[in-house]
């Protein structure tokens, strides 16, 4: 049996951050990752000379990524990642604070009868942007590389903390689902759809609308998101950290602090950080031998965790096009949130989807495809074109494109169970390509060299994320983990002795920044 002081399970951004923080302090750490490489939902891969991102299309700095690069002296070149917002034939590059008001002009143009409603929405976003400047705008002084002289650092920390606490208080109060909040500001359903239809259902309003400020905060590592991950891996290894790939943990004996992998190999730990799926942690843990009180605590937590589900997942279509990057550059930047039709999704993604799921046994393929066509026509897409940010991302004169949108895991599972999965994926590819070819990139459909796709099921299969979730818990149920930023430090604690959690399931709302943050907090707890 292998015995390590600290074992980290899961080599996504959370597990890697935790591991690096620990090895940097000369701790004896072993990182176990089920796949052949680290990164999880932050990764890149290459196919026939085209480089694509598996998950997050870029990094949100959030006052965390750049300090991380500096603190651990990572050799990463940061490239610009300009966001474009597009509706039908109007596009806007978000490159300054003023862009918000240009966006308002576009909305007023598209919805002339709703100018007051646009103003109210834009004013709310403006106030959130001011809060976000406090939260993420300045690099967090607590992550400064070396606290050389506490007296020098103290005033800035105190000032920052006061502003930070005031902001967090306001944020905690803005936890209403964004749909309900928008209802107070506007009645025009299409306008509300355009603002919010690419957010997860019931996202707290602050988190949803704060994305307008994060658009200016995206960065793209030279070599892709995967190059950043590779740097983290190399930094861990350079400090003597041990990473084992193709090692999937399938059993945990909490009382004796022993992990078991799928090949039957055992690992003993003093402390463990679980940076993978939380339902999996509670499902595979045996509480045998635990004292009655500890066992009760564990079972109560397990019940709460198992009763909830992950947020919506994503469908992504990867396309290699025989078109030069200049063709796409003329239309927009390399990272676009695009809605081809101002009418918006309306009830297609909510009521109509629910009806389809409820009477699934009687649904015919033709009916499903009719729904899918509407879903694609009125939806909002995230379009990523790596070569527009990094010229090395595609063969000369050609372009790789990723088009994605939020997608329901349950529907994907039902389609698989009917045996329609492969055909359905091809249909989605066809429709995504048709949609953008009928709008922003008309030449695309005749220039596709090859395409393929990933579904919510692929995400579940690859990283073991419940319901294929990319950002942890759904906002539609009672979230079983810490949701208040005031309590973030306790988010990593579990009902198991010396076991901490990190990553997208540890705190909500989640994403790249909270995965990094919880990774660092969990590492700190392993004193
Ligand atoms: C298309 C897409 C776009 C996104 N865009 C954004 C964005 O714009 N902004 C943002 O903030 N976030 C975004 N995200 C979300 C963000 O990428 C994730 O929330 C974040 O990367 C989660 O990191 P993690 O380490 O918590 O989990 P993961 O990346 O899921 O890592 C978990 C790791 O654990 C491993 N593992 C699982 N089970 C086991 C086991 N039993 N044994 C060993 N190893 C195991 C997995 O293989 C994986 O490597 C996006 C994600 C996707 C897919």
pLDDT digits (tens, 9 = 90+) for 265-276: 999 999 999 999
| Domain membership flag for residue 402 | yes
pLDDT tens by residue, 288-346: 888 999 999 999 999 999 999 999 999 999 999 999 999 999 999 999 999 999 999 98
The confidence score (pLDDT) of residue 143 equals: 46
The angle at the Cα of 309, spanning 364 to 353, to the nearest 5 degrees, equals: 25
Cβ atoms 27, 8 nearer than 8 A: no
Q: How many domains does the chain have?
A: 3
CATH number at residue 447: 3.90.660
- Over residues 124-137, the mean pLDDT reads 78
Candidate of 9, 13, 55 to mutate for ligand 1, largest count of ligand atoms within 8 Å of Cβ: 55
| Domain membership flag for residue 417 | yes
Report the C-alpha gap between 166 and 309 in whole angstroms.
31
518 CA to centre of ligand 1 in angstroms: 13
Cβ atoms 433, 401 nearer than 8 A: no
Full-model pTM: 0.93
Alpha helices per DSSP H over 53-98? 65-71
Task: Copy the structure tokens of residue 214.
Answer: 């994060």
Residue 325 and residue 454 in one domain? yes
297 CA to centre of ligand 1 in angstroms: 28
| Domain membership flag for residue 468 | no
**Does position 405 have pLDDT exceeding 80, yes or no?**
yes
Candidate of 12, 36, 279 to mutate for ligand 1, largest count of ligand atoms within 8 Å of Cβ: 12
The confidence score (pLDDT) of residue 142 equals: 44
55 CA to centre of ligand 1 in angstroms: 8
Q: Is 41 in the pocket of ligand 1 (CB under 6 A)?
A: yes
511 CA to centre of ligand 1 in angstroms: 8
Q: Is 310 in the pocket of ligand 1 (CB under 6 A)?
A: no
Q: Which of 285, 465, 507 is nearest to 520 (CA)?
A: 507
Residue 433 and residue 336 in one domain? yes
Q: Is 34 in the pocket of ligand 1 (CB under 6 A)?
A: yes
CATH number at residue 39: 3.50.50.60
| Domain membership flag for residue 469 | no
Measured from the Cβ of residue 60, the count of other Cβ atoms closer than 10 Å reads 20
| Domain membership flag for residue 470 | no
Q: Is 205 in the pocket of ligand 1 (CB under 6 A)?
A: no
Residue 397 and residue 441 in one domain? yes
DSSP 121-188: HHHHHHHHHHHHIIIIISPPGGG-S----HHHHHHHHHHHHHHHHHHHHHHHH--SBHHHHHHHH---
Cβ atoms 489, 521 nearer than 8 A: yes
Domain endpoint, select from 463, 488, 513: 463
- Over residues 139-155, the mean pLDDT reads 49
Residue 290 and residue 373 in one domain? no
Domain endpoint, select from 192, 219, 246: 219
The confidence score (pLDDT) of residue 513 equals: 92
Q: Which of 444, 447, 469, 443 is nearest to 456 (CA)?
A: 469
Residue 320 and residue 453 in one domain? yes
| Domain membership flag for residue 322 | yes
The confidence score (pLDDT) of residue 139 equals: 47
Residue 504 and residue 375 in one domain? no
Q: Which residue has a Cα nearest atom 21 of ligand 1? A: 41
Q: Which domain holds residue 163?
A: 81-219
Domain endpoint, select from 198, 219, 240: 219
Candidate of 20, 56, 83 to mutate for ligand 1, largest count of ligand atoms within 8 Å of Cβ: 56
The confidence score (pLDDT) of residue 371 equals: 96
Residue 451 and residue 516 in one domain? no
- Over residues 81-104, the mean pLDDT reads 93
Report the C-alpha gap between 493 and 502 in whole angstroms.
9
Residue 452 and residue 384 in one domain? yes
Residue 452 and residue 317 in one domain? yes
Residue 70 and residue 123 in one domain? no
185 CA to centre of ligand 1 in angstroms: 34
Q: Is 275 in the pocket of ligand 1 (CB under 6 A)?
A: yes
Alpha helices per DSSP H over 187-253? 189-196, 205-209, 211-214, 225-238
């Amino acid at each position: 049996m292998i015995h390590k002081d600290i074992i980290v399970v899961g080599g996504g951004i959370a597990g890697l951050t935790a591991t690096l923080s620990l090895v940097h302090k000369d701790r004896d750490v072993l990182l176990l990752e089920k796949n052949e490489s680290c990164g999880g939902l932050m990764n890149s891969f290459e196919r026939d000379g085209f480089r694509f991102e598996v998950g997050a299309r870029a990094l949100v700095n959030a006052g965390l990524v750049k300090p991380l690069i500096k603190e651990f002296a990572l050799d990463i070149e940061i490239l610009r990642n300009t966001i474009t917002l597009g509706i039908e034939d109007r596009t806007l590059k978000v490159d300054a604070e003023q862009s918000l008001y240009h966006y308002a002009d576009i909305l007023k143009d598209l919805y002339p009868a709703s100018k007051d409603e646009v103003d109210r929405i834009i004013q709310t976003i403006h106030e959130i942007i001011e809060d976000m400047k406090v939260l993420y705008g300045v690099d967090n002084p607590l992550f400064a590389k070396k606290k050389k002289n506490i007296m020098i650092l103290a005033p800035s920390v105190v000032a920052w903390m006061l502003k930070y606490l005031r902001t967090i208080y306001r944020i905690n109060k803005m936890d209403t689902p964004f749909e309900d909040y928008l209802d107070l500001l506007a009645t025009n359903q299409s306008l509300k759809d355009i603002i919010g239809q690419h957010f997860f259902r019931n996202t707290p309003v602050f988190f949803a609308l704060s994305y307008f400020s994060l658009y200016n905060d995206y960065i793209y590592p030279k070599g892709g998101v995967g190059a950043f991950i590779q740097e983290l891996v190399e930094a861990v290894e350079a400090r003597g950290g041990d990473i084992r790939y193709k090692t999937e943990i399938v059993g945990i004996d909490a009382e004796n602090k022993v992990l078991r992998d799928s090949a039957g190999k055992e690992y003993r730990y003093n402390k463990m950080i679980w940076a993978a799926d939380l339902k999996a942690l509670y499902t595979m843990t045996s509480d045998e031998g635990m004292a009655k009180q500890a066992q009760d605590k564990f079972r109560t937590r397990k019940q709460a965790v198992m009763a909830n589900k992950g947020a919506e997942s994503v469908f992504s279509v990867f396309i290699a096009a025989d078109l030069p990057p200049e063709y796409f550059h003329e239309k927009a930047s390399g990272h676009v949130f695009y809605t081809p039709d101002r009418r918006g999704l309306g009830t297609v993604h909510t009521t109509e989807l629910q009806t389809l799921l409820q009477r699934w046994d009687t649904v015919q393929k033709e009916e499903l495809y009719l729904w899918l066509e509407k879903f694609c026509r009125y939806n909002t897409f995230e379009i990523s074109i790596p070569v527009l940010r990094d010229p090395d991302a595609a063969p000369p004169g050609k372009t790789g494109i990723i088009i994605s949108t939020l997608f329901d895991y349950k529907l994907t599972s039902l389609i698989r169970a009917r045996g329609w999965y492969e055909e359905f994926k091809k249909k989605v590819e066809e429709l995504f390509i048709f949609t953008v070819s009928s709008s922003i990139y008309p030449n695309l459909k005749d220039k596709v060299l090859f395409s393929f796709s990933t579904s919510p099921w692929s995400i579940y299969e690859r990283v073991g994320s419940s319901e294929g979730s990319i950002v942890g818990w759904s906002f539609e149920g009672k979230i079983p983990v810490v949701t208040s930023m005031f309590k973030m430090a306790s988010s990593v604690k579990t009902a198991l002795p010396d076991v901490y959690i990190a990553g997208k399931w540890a705190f909500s709302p989640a994403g790249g920044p909270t995965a990094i943050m919880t990774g660092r907090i969990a590492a700190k707890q392993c004193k």
